């Protein structure tokens, strides 16, 4: 089969289309013929090996995974002998982070992370949901517990997870401030944000405004700066960002939360806690709408990675097979 393969950490040019062996499903896995795989910033992080903490998970000098891509959608071609929920021919989607392999014609996945695709949705549309959707779902509703009328700020709001987070917060009646780079300001407004901030020109922690919830998708400011921007009893959730900010939230977050009414912590999502059905319900109710910026063929994976990694994507980017 054909796959976009990278043998070492590096720039998008490190990735090349190669002929590789088709994977064989283990007993608890299904083999999927992939039709669409959406990109996440985590693909870029695995490609480049930055922030450095990602290497503690994926490999210090080279990644354990040669084929990136985790949000897949396709048709089941074969099933392992212990698989009970799917059979060949089923149309499925899910986040296979942990094994990766989505930028290829076929990939294997544990049945637990997969969900049946509704007939009325396209493979492309369901492929954009799992990782970005679940970050928004947990950040805004489950852990964020955002209420109607509250003020939320989403940092990195023009990317994949941010686009869903803005939509979700608006649909639950919040007042939304969206922060991202200059070229994403109009897009964030059109996606429903009440206020937009260009992070290249303004520091949202220094303008005197206060928020009930800050969802920080790309943390670069200190925990103390973010604390200042929280309303009394406000919550700060760090999803991703620099290693320094991540460790700060890990160590200092619980201490700050213990003393005082403001809560600060990391938000970690685990693909094994499959929330795809809840995401489909949110699509059905109109609370979230997949927005696909660009589509690339399998041979275009390097360009797709560059488009996302350099921060140009307005919503999601999809590779179609």
Ligand X SMILES: NC(=O)c1ccc[n+]([C@@H]2O[C@H](COP(=O)([O-])OP(=O)(O)OC[C@H]3O[C@@H](n4cnc5c(N)ncnc54)[C@H](OP(=O)(O)O)[C@@H]3O)[C@@H](O)[C@H]2O)c1
Q: Which residues bind ligand X (CB under 6 A)?
A: 40-42, 45, 131-132, 135, 155-156, 158-162, 179-181, 184, 199, 217-218, 220, 239-241, 267-269, 308, 311, 313
For ligand X, the closer CB: 51 or 118 = 51
What residues contact residue 315 under an 8 Å CB cut-off, 6+ apart? 128, 159, 160, 163, 187, 191, 290, 291, 292, 293
69, 98 in Cβ contact below 8 A? no
> Please, what sign has the CA dihedral across residues 248, 253, 254, 260?
positive
For ligand X, the closer CB: 31 or 166 = 166
- Shortest gap between Cβ of 162 and ligand X (angstroms)? 6
- Shortest gap between Cβ of 44 and ligand X (angstroms)? 7
For ligand X, the closer CB: 79 or 109 = 109
- Shortest gap between Cβ of 100 and ligand X (angstroms)? 12
For ligand X, the closer CB: 14 or 50 = 50
314, 291 in Cβ contact below 8 A? yes
> Please, what sign has the CA dihedral across residues 289, 181, 39, 296?
positive
Query: What CA–CA distances, in Å, run from 158 to 168, 178, 185?
Result: 14, 8, 8
């Amino acid at each position: 089969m054909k796959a976009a393969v990278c043998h070492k950490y590096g720039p998008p040019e490190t990735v090349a289309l190669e002929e590789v062996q088709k994977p064989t499903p283990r007993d608890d896995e299904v083999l999927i013929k992939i039709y669409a795989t959406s990109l996440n910033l985590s693909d870029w992080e695995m490609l480049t090996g930055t922030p450095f903490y990602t290497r503690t998970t994926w490999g210090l000098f080279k990644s354990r995974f040669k084929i990136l891509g985790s949000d897949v959608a396709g048709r089941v071609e074969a099933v392992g002998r212990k698989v009970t929920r799917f059979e060949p021919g089923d149309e499925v989607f899910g986040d296979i982070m942990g094994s990766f392999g989505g930028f290829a014609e076929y990939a294997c996945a544990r049945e637990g992370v997969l969900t049946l695709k509704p007939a009325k949705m396209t493979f492309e549309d369901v492929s954009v949901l799992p990782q970005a959707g679940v970050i928004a779902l947990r950040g805004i509703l489950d852990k964020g517990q955002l209420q109607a009328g509250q003020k939320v700020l989403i940092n990195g709001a023009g990317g994949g997870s941010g686009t869903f987070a803005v939509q979700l917060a608006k649909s639950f009646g919040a007042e939304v401030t969206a922060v991202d780079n200059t070229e994403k300001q109009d897009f964030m407004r059109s996606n429903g944000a009440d206020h937009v901030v260009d992070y290249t020109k303004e520091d949202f922690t220094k303008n005197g405004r206060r928020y009930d919830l800050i969802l920080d998708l790309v943390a670069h400011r200190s925990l103390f700066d973010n604390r200042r921007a929280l309303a009394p009893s406000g919550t700060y959730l760090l999803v991703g960002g620099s290693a320094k900010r991540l460790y700060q939230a890990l160590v200092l977050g619980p201490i700050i939360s213990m003393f005082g009414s403001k809560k600060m912590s990391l938000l970690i999502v685990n693909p094994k806690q499959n929330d795809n059905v809840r995401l489909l319900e949110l699509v059905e109710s109109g609370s979230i709408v997949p927005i696909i910026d660009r589509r690339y063929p399998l041979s275009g994976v390097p360009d797709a990675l560059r488009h996302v990694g350099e921060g140009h994507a307005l919503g999601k980017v999809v590779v179609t097979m």
